[in-house]
Amino acid sequence: MKAVRRSFNICVIGAGGVGTTLAFLLHRSGNKIVAVVSKNKRSAIKCGRAVSCMICSDDLSVIPSSCDLVLIAVPDQSIRSVAKSLAAVPALRLERIFVFHTSGAMTSDALEPVARKGAKVFSLHPVQTFPRQNTLKDQLATMKGVTFGFEGPEGSRATAKLLVRQMGGEFLFIPKEAKILYHLACVIASNYSVTLVGALDFIAGTITRKKIQPFRKLLLTSIENAMKMGAGKALTGPIARGDSEIVREHLNAIQEPELRMLYKSLGAYTLKLAIQENRLKTEEIASLRELLGA
């Protein structure tokens, strides 16, 4: 088996939170960042300073021939056009280069223009959130032990594993046909958990000026319990007890249509979990289903 090289000359395309963070982690682990290219040249320069890179531009033609790995960290809708433009850069011998993108939803097929010219392609997505407000220092503090979802040909897997190891992460193989479900899991873990916190904050704000703070411990302990013992076994509350009267009172107390809809949807899935755990009597299930529209 051909040995996997230990370090790369890397070009970073896209100098936002994801691109800059991964560039820094790869630079810190001994790789050389030979070019940073971004639609926003100021972002490219800022990223370049963080990784000791002198070639910073908004033009792909600056990528030097020494580049042997390209990291594409641009919005999903731009990946295909970037790959097409990259395939046209005359200095690059693509048959000697690895190219990967960081999208959680798109597969490595988005890199077909460079794959057709011989590049070894894959997708490698960090299972982490990158708020725009975070400084690079703040973001780096969240990256230790982060999982990276890999999707791509077998011939790229060893290189992807090396990069993940260099960045201090955990490797997770994602079959191509499951990539969108993987992304859905990421969205529920990140976006919808934040939405729930927002709903809690709104309701708590009608009770106390401290808003969410008095409920912080309950929230974190409940999540920890669900992670430890499974969601069904961690369930508490009126639905798990079959208390349809309390659920009715909750619904009567909710004035906002969107919040009422959210409560019903979450309640319906909570009911499903409780049923799977054999927690409820038949008549309790029927009453709750009627209330929640399940």
How does pLDDT run along the chain (294 residues), one tens digit per residue? 455 568 999 999 999 999 999 999 999 999 999 999 999 999 999 999 999 999 999 999 999 999 999 999 999 999 999 999 999 998 899 999 999 999 999 999 999 999 999 999 999 999 999 999 999 999 999 999 999 999 999 999 999 999 999 999 999 999 999 999 999 999 999 999 999 999 999 999 999 999 999 999 999 999 999 999 999 999 999 999 999 999 999 999 999 999 999 999 999 999 999 999 998 999 999 999 999 998
- pTM beyond 0.85, yes or no: yes
Report the pLDDT value the prediction gives residue 114, as an integer from 0 to 100. 98
Report the pLDDT value the prediction gives residue 1, as an integer from 0 to 100. 45
Phi-psi region of 212 (alpha: psi -120 to 50; beta: other; left: phi over 0): alpha
252 Cβ partners below 8 Å, 6+ apart?
A: none
CA 95 to CA 7: how far, in whole Å? 18
Query: Exposed/middle/buried for 105, CB within 10 Å: 0-12, 13-18, 19+?
Result: middle
- Tell me which residue of 226, 125, 150 sits closest to 237, measured CA to CA: 226
235 Cβ partners below 8 Å, 6+ apart?
A: 270, 273, 274, 277, 279
Return phi, psi of residue 114, to 5°.
-85, -30
Domains and CATH numbers, the chain: 9-174 (3.40.50.720), 183-292 (1.10.1040)
Report the pLDDT value the prediction gives residue 3, as an integer from 0 to 100. 52
